[in-house]
Chain A
């Protein structure tokens, strides 16, 4: 093993430990944040007894869950029942490995550590656990694996509610995977790369992709909600119909693992939104963040953290605002609205990018982004105008009026006949 490889491995292990710790602690605190945000939106205080302002509540919950009895339903498939929480938990954590969370940090060292030998590293170290050249495809691939855990949990519990939850989860995640993947193609078209680092670099050079690719962002966010099984798309859990669906039969820490997986997925989707559409760790209006050094790295780390936190808040905000979709509405939205829009958008963006770069010959990334942004404003007005026109989706009162009209006509006919 060369000293360079050893240095690389050493740094990777350190980054892994740091990212893993932050994700796990963050997820624990997110459960508290969820309860606090929900409480505030309902004019309550939320948990405030354990520790200062309830900050130790997640620790108390964790201890409680570890000490609780583990139940196994009779007739459950013991092996799959045990493996399922891990299967949903591991993909959720794997995803955080490829998302760049700060500006590259120049690290130089050259030392010998007893029998382990010489460790060498020179030059900038990308602040991402694994800077995969196919990072983007990795995320798409692994995020689909999460459904195995949920489907298996539902199936192995030998419970009708759990099975229905698992079935719903698989149908929902597969449907929305399509719209999600489609919505990301314009990002690839514009950046010309599937590596997250390149996508972030492209956004630093031009504008954040939320401006030139607004509809992609819109579709991706909605599909992201559905992928993470969050309200308004939490049909796999559906407390009122399925008594929490696929984890009905789970107790103690295994139950907790599903929650950790859900929140880890939320963090990942929010990190994806941040990275793909909001510049990743980029600090806007300055080039200082790319100058290299410890301070820019820490600052960009903080900025990335704040951006992700904001999106996590939006996820919770929407959860405590909207009621759950009906199942047919969910499928209709995924297949009949989001997928056609995403497909049409790919075509429009293909032409638009070609026209801007080749026909008009705009080479400045900022100008090109602005041109596409102008197009997106037009498209956005068109799409939302059509959605809001009352032609495609009508208010619930419309059908009532129709019924009343029909009844009136019938009475009138009866009166004439009589």
Chain B
């Protein structure tokens, strides 16, 4: 027998429709008394802190809108290397680099725009990023009243690292990164 073929054990004797019907009715009635599993969406969200990691959690594989991580000082971890801009198949990332004096790093993004109306959520930017600066979150609500609202600026994207810990761990295992990139020396 081939591997993985499930052989059903079908009843040979038993039978009347009556008995099977009653059995089924007992089963469905039991289900009536059980807890409901539906998430009540606008009230409960999979991104909520209390639900997000519990009953209705999205998988860590889920690619929502981007977030840019910040370090302990609240500064963006991005070094404006432009790899994500280069990797992006839809050209939705625009980086304007600026120079920093005496911060241990020389470049930082003066502007970092993501045009979400073009983004296809492929996650290549996240894969390309050597600094774990750009990460996809669980956020899914993108509706706005104007198109301009879909262009996310750097300031809208900044979040502290600990909020996306789960996704980061997933990324490290998925892309065989051993750990977080080495901390920069502070000047």
Question: A residues near B, CB below 8 A?
Answer: 37, 40-45, 317-318, 320-322, 333, 384, 387-388, 390, 393-398, 400-401
- Please measure, in the bound complex, the distance between the C-alpha atom of A233 and the C-alpha atom of B186, giving whole angstroms: 76
**A to B CB contacts below 8 Å, 29 in the list:** A40-B36, A41-B29, A42-B31, A43-B31, A43-B36, A44-B38, A317-B25, A318-B21, A321-B21, A321-B27, A321-B28, A384-B18, A387-B15, A387-B18, A388-B14, A388-B15, A388-B18, A390-B14, A390-B15, A394-B12, A394-B13, A394-B15, A395-B10, A395-B11, A395-B12, A396-B10, A397-B10, A397-B11, A398-B12
By the criterion CB–CB under 8 Å, are B25 and A384 in contact?
no
Which of the four size classes fits the interface of chain B?
20 to 34
Q: Which residues of chain B in 1-56 are interfacial with respect to chain A, using CB atoms and an 8 Å cutoff?
A: 9-19, 21, 24-25, 27-29, 31-32, 34-38, 40
List residues of chain A with CB within 8 A of the CB of B17.
333, 387, 393
CB of B69, distance to nearest CB on chain A (Å): 37
Q: A43-B31, A390-B15, A394-B12 are contacts. A321–B36 as well, Cβ < 8 Å?
A: no
By the criterion CB–CB under 8 Å, are A45 and B40 in contact?
yes
List residues of chain B with CB within 8 A of the CB of A43.
31, 34-38
By the criterion CB–CB under 8 Å, are B25 and A321 in contact?
yes
By the criterion CB–CB under 8 Å, are B16 and A388 in contact?
yes
Q: Across the two chains, which residue of chain A brings its CB closest to B29?
A: A317
List residues of chain B with CB within 8 A of the CB of A44.
36-38
By the criterion CB–CB under 8 Å, are A41 and B15 in contact?
no
List residues of chain B with CB within 8 A of the CB of A400.
10
CB of B96, distance to nearest CB on chain A (Å): 46
- Please measure, in the bound complex, the distance between the C-alpha atom of A400 and the C-alpha atom of B9, giving whole angstroms: 10
- Please measure, in the bound complex, the distance between the C-alpha atom of A112 and the C-alpha atom of B32, giving whole angstroms: 56
By the criterion CB–CB under 8 Å, are B34 and A321 in contact?
no
Q: Across the two chains, which residue of chain A brings its CB closest to B21?
A: A322
- Please measure, in the bound complex, the distance between the C-alpha atom of A388 and the C-alpha atom of B19, giving whole angstroms: 8
The listed residue with most B CB atoms (<10 A of its CB), out of A42, A45, A318, A321, is A321
Knowing that A40-B32, A387-B18, A396-B11 are A-B contacts, what are 6 other residue pairs whose CB atoms are under 8 Å apart, sorted by A's residue number? Answer: A40-B36, A45-B40, A318-B25, A384-B18, A393-B15, A401-B12
CB of B111, distance to nearest CB on chain A (Å): 42
- Please measure, in the bound complex, the distance between the C-alpha atom of A64 and the C-alpha atom of B40, giving whole angstroms: 24
Q: Across the two chains, which residue of chain B brings its CB closest to A400?
A: B10
List residues of chain A with CB within 8 A of the CB of B28.
41, 317, 320-321
List residues of chain B with CB within 8 A of the CB of A40.
31-32, 36
- Please measure, in the bound complex, the distance between the C-alpha atom of A401 and the C-alpha atom of B10, giving whole angstroms: 10
Q: Across the two chains, which residue of chain A brings its CB closest to B11?
A: A395
The listed residue with most A CB atoms (<10 A of its CB), out of B18, B28, B31, is B28
By the criterion CB–CB under 8 Å, are B32 and A41 in contact?
yes
B13 contacts which of A37, A41, A384, A398 (Cβ < 8 Å)? A398
List residues of chain B with CB within 8 A of the CB of A396.
10-11
- Please measure, in the bound complex, the distance between the C-alpha atom of A318 and the C-alpha atom of B15, giving whole angstroms: 18
CB of A390, distance to nearest CB on chain B (Å): 4
- Please measure, in the bound complex, the distance between the C-alpha atom of A5 and the C-alpha atom of B142, giving whole angstroms: 70
Q: A41-B31, A397-B11 are contacts. A322–B24 as well, Cβ < 8 Å?
A: yes
CB of A332, distance to nearest CB on chain B (Å): 11
By the criterion CB–CB under 8 Å, are A390 and B13 in contact?
yes
Q: A43-B31, A318-B21 are contacts. A384–B16 as well, Cβ < 8 Å?
A: yes
Closest CB pairs A-B (n = 5): A397-B10, A395-B11, A387-B16, A390-B13, A397-B12
Q: Across the two chains, which residue of chain B brings its CB closest to A44?
A: B38
CB of A33, distance to nearest CB on chain B (Å): 13
- Please measure, in the bound complex, the distance between the C-alpha atom of A42 and the C-alpha atom of B31, giving whole angstroms: 7
Q: Across the two chains, which residue of chain B brings its CB closest to A319?
A: B28
Q: Across the two chains, which residue of chain A brings its CB closest to B26?
A: A321
- Please measure, in the bound complex, the distance between the C-alpha atom of A398 and the C-alpha atom of B15, giving whole angstroms: 11
CB of B113, distance to nearest CB on chain A (Å): 37
- Please measure, in the bound complex, the distance between the C-alpha atom of A43 and the C-alpha atom of B29, giving whole angstroms: 11
- Please measure, in the bound complex, the distance between the C-alpha atom of A394 and the C-alpha atom of B21, giving whole angstroms: 15
By the criterion CB–CB under 8 Å, are B12 and A45 in contact?
no
- Please measure, in the bound complex, the distance between the C-alpha atom of A252 and the C-alpha atom of B21, giving whole angstroms: 35
